[in-house]
A and B are shown apart, each in its own frame.
Chain A
Amino acid sequence: NAGVTQTPKFQVLKTGQSMTLQCAQDMNHNSMYWYRQDPGMGLRLIYYSASEGTTDKGEVPNGYNVSRLNKREFSLRLESAAPSQTSVYFCASKKGTAPYEQYFGPGTRLTVT
């Protein structure tokens, strides 16, 4: 089992460029999440998908969109990148909507210049 995988590992964008961060899990989990991690601010939820076919906003959704492509894959899109979106992005999954533990990917380090 690979667990949760994310691509790319690193990315540098110029202001205004767009990109999609990919996430996939092979644990047959129903729920998937996108977080951003900034120094001293813990993890902040951007969007989540409680089950295939549903997505909802989290704490900091502005400037992002998501797609739950199927049960395995959950992508995060930045339509017009801004320097404030420089961060480390983590995808996570868990079994269902009960308060189970989450399984995290290795992260994507994004720099917007």
Chain B
Amino acid sequence: AQSVTQLGSHVSVSEGALVLLRCNYSSSVPPYLFWYVQYPNQGLQLLLKYTSAATLVKGINGFEAEFKKSETSFHLTKPSAHMSDAAEYFCAVSLNTNAGKSTFGDGTTLTVKP
């Protein structure tokens, strides 16, 4: 079984401030973890993924995430927010079983204030 919890449905930061979006997972076997971004009226696109190699994963647009097994977390960070980062972000977990289906979190809407 697998599940994902995203803490905070809405996060607001000022332009240039640190972005931190939280994701905790639960899985019975080693997980594969993903962050997707969804811009308004578009589909989801992959931001970054953890597949059991390096625990610190770098993605597109300056985002990165760190896999912490002891905390069952995979939080997404970016040192300095840009206005263009305003979007909805989804954390997802997938296992190497059950046809590799993904379970998505409820999403976090990021607002960036000028």
Contact = CB atoms under 8 A, between A and B. Distances in A.
Contact of B46 (A41, A97, A99, A101): A101
A58 B103 CA distance: 11
B90 A42 contact: yes
B51 to A, nearest CB: 8
Interface stretch (B14-22, B37-45, B62-70, B72-80): B37-45
Contacts of A97: 99-100
A40 interface: yes
A6 B45 CA distance: 15
A90 B44 contact: yes
Interface string A98-111: 11111111110000
Contact of A45 (B43, B51, B101): B101
B99 A106 contact: no
B25 interface: no
Given A42-B107, A43-B104, A98 B96 contact: yes
B44 A50 contact: no
Given A97-B100, A99-B94, A107 B42 contact: yes
A48 B102 CA distance: 11
A40 B100 contact: no
Contacts of B95: 99
A92 B104 CA distance: 13
Interface of B: 9, 32, 34, 36, 41-46, 49, 51, 90, 94-96, 99-102, 104-107
A66 interface: no
Contacts of B94: 99
A97 B98 CA distance: 8
A61 interface: no
Given A40-B106, A42-B90, A42-B105, A104 B43 contact: yes
Contacts of B32: 99
Given A40-B9, A50-B99, 16 more contacts: A4-B43, A31-B99, A40-B107, A43-B44, A45-B101, A48-B99, A56-B99, A58-B101, A92-B43, A92-B44, A99-B32, A99-B96, A102-B46, A103-B46, A104-B43, A106-B43
